[in-house]
């Protein structure tokens, strides 16, 4: 699942794409948190399904095409207001890696907290037994960073602990959606950190992905027969004698890929990371050149994110614009990619995406003329007019209007 391209709905809520094959498992996890939320009696946790999409995904490792159905959801979990303060997020402090940000759904921790030290602005102690600190916001918009021990004092409310727990419930629900390990959310620095060199860890991740495919920690959680790539790599570090096949299979390309991926994450620039918590977090891990157990899931994902970015850059070089604007065109046997619908000012619009050779076509239609169940790669003959040429996510696309389509 892509974590680095988080889309948002019209009200700015993050959209999570859950593959259909694990949607039920996802909802099972959500229902567990819903029960917990109910027990706490402080807030409501809801999952709202926005749409279903069928995406033609190319596995970055095997390069095989896969048709995957996704459910796009938003998580509704507004933290309840306590007095005049509201929770905004949580900071995980690590003396080597730095500060990792975890914003609450619909909230965004200001970028300046990327530099925040571990401290409490309530009691002004800079040593806090538990590593995490919370960011809260006052009704006038000002923020404060508060240690766990001080939340009750700070908010002056007997149910403050409940709210802190509630806050972790929604973070956990969000983590289930983005494919982070639950234990990561609740780690809170309780265990003694042990660090692993990022290059060595990621070169193992590269080899494992090449040999066995990529499995995220959350995928592994839902499937007893799968082990997460990150955890296999850690086991390899702990017990190399169990990994003779992998050790033999490891080649220079794996090491190079690991190095390139680390350099890519290190080179992410200011704007990219201040807008995107995920990119910021992997940037911090890459700069430290180490990871610990809790961040290994993030760390391992650097490889797949890098491959996706590199792939996109390659695609962008390959894609070309078709024809000239306002040309009437007849396109034969173009391949259906995917479609998505949204409600706008003038009613429902459906976007259709097609591909042929190096050309990508987009058609905004006011009618739903092709069933959403249409298989990716289904061929259509299309007549229409070229309305525009533009770039979308680094790909050149030709925008069509006034189209007629017919399945071949």
- Summarize as ranges the residues that interact with Zn ion (CB under 5 A): 120, 122-123, 147, 150
Nearer to Zn ion, 146 or 334 (CB): 146
Give φ, ψ of 69 to 5 degrees. -90, 135
Give φ, ψ of 251 to 5 degrees. -130, 180
Nearer to Zn ion, 118 or 207 (CB): 118
Q: How far is the CB of 92 from Zn ion (least distance, A)?
A: 17
Q: How far is the CB of 82 from Zn ion (least distance, A)?
A: 16
Q: How far is the CB of 124 from Zn ion (least distance, A)?
A: 7
Q: H/E element holding 303?
A: helix 296-318
* Geometric angle at alpha carbon 35, from 31 and 40, rounded to 5°: 145
Nearer to Zn ion, 144 or 260 (CB): 144
- 4's tokens: 């680095």
Q: How far is the CB of 194 from Zn ion (least distance, A)?
A: 28
Do β-strands 359-365 and 395-407 pair in parallel, antiparallel, or remain unpaired?
parallel
Q: How far is the CB of 148 from Zn ion (least distance, A)?
A: 9
Q: How far is the CB of 159 from Zn ion (least distance, A)?
A: 18
Nearer to Zn ion, 150 or 262 (CB): 150
Q: How far is the CB of 130 from Zn ion (least distance, A)?
A: 11
- 153's tokens: 């004092």
Q: How far is the CB of 185 from Zn ion (least distance, A)?
A: 22
Nearest to 8 by CA among 72, 89, 102, 90: 72
Contact 70, 58 (CB under 8 A): no
Give φ, ψ of 396 to 5 degrees. -80, 125
Nearer to Zn ion, 122 or 212 (CB): 122
Other C-beta atoms closer than 10 Å to the C-beta of 138 total 12
- Quick one: DSSP state of residue 82? B
Nearest to 393 by CA among 360, 347, 355: 360
Residue appearing with tokens 């390899």: 236
Nearer to Zn ion, 53 or 119 (CB): 119
What are the start-end ranges of the H helices in 216-251?
217-222, 229-238, 244-249
- 159's tokens: 């149910």
Nearer to Zn ion, 130 or 379 (CB): 130
Euclidean distance between CA atoms 366 and 350, whole angstroms: 6
Q: How far is the CB of 154 from Zn ion (least distance, A)?
A: 7
Residue appearing with tokens 């620095």: 189
Euclidean distance between CA atoms 164 and 171, whole angstroms: 11
Residue appearing with tokens 């509201």: 86
């Amino acid at each position: 699942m892509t974590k680095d391209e988080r889309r948002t709905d019209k009200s700015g809520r993050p959209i999570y794409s859950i593959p259909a094959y694990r949607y039920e498992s996802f909802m099972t996890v959500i229902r567990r948190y819903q029960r917990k939320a109910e027990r706490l009696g402080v807030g409501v946790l809801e999952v709202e399904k926005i749409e279903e999409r069928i995406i033609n995904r190319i596995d970055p490792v095997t390069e095989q095409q896969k048709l995957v159905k996704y459910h796009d959801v938003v998580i509704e979990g507004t933290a309840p207001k306590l007095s005049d303060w509201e929770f905004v997020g949580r900071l995980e402090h690590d003396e080597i890696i730095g500060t990792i940000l975890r914003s609450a759904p619909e909230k965004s921790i200001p970028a300046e907290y990327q530099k925040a030290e571990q401290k409490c602005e309530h009691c002004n102690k800079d040593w806090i037994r538990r590593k995490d600190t919370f960011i809260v916001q006052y009704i006038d918009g000002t923020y404060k960073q508060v240690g766990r021990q001080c939340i009750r004092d700070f908010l002056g409310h007997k149910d403050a602990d409940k709210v802190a727990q509630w806050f972790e419930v929604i973070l956990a629900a969000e983590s289930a959606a983005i494919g982070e390990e639950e234990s990561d959310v609740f780690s809170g620095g309780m265990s003694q950190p042990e660090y692993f060199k990022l290059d060595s860890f990621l070169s193992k991740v590269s080899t494992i992905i090449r040999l066995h495919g990529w499995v995220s920690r959350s995928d592994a959680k839902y499937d007893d027969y799968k082990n997460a790539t990150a955890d296999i790599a850690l086991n390899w570090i702990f017990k190399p004698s169990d990994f003779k096949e992998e050790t033999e299979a490891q080649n220079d390309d794996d090491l190079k890929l690991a190095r390139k991926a680390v350099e890519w994450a290190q080179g992410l620039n200011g704007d990219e990371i201040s807008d995107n918590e995920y990119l910021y977090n992997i940037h911090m891990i890459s700069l430290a050149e180490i990871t610990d157990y809790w961040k290994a899931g993030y760390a391992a994902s650097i490889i797949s994110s890098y491959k996706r970015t590199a792939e996109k850059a390659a695609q962008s070089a390959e894609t070309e614009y078709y024809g000239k604007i306002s040309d009437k065109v007849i396109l034969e046997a173009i391949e259906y990619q995917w479609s998505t619908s949204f409600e706008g000012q003038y009613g429902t619009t459906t976007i259709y995406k097609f591909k042929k050779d190096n050309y990508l076509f987009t058609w905004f239609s006011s009618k739903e003329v092709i069933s959403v169940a249409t298989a990716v790669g289904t061929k259509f003959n299309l007549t229409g007019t070229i309305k525009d040429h533009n770039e979308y996510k680094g790909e050149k696309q030709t925008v069509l209007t006034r189209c007629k389509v017919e399945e071949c």
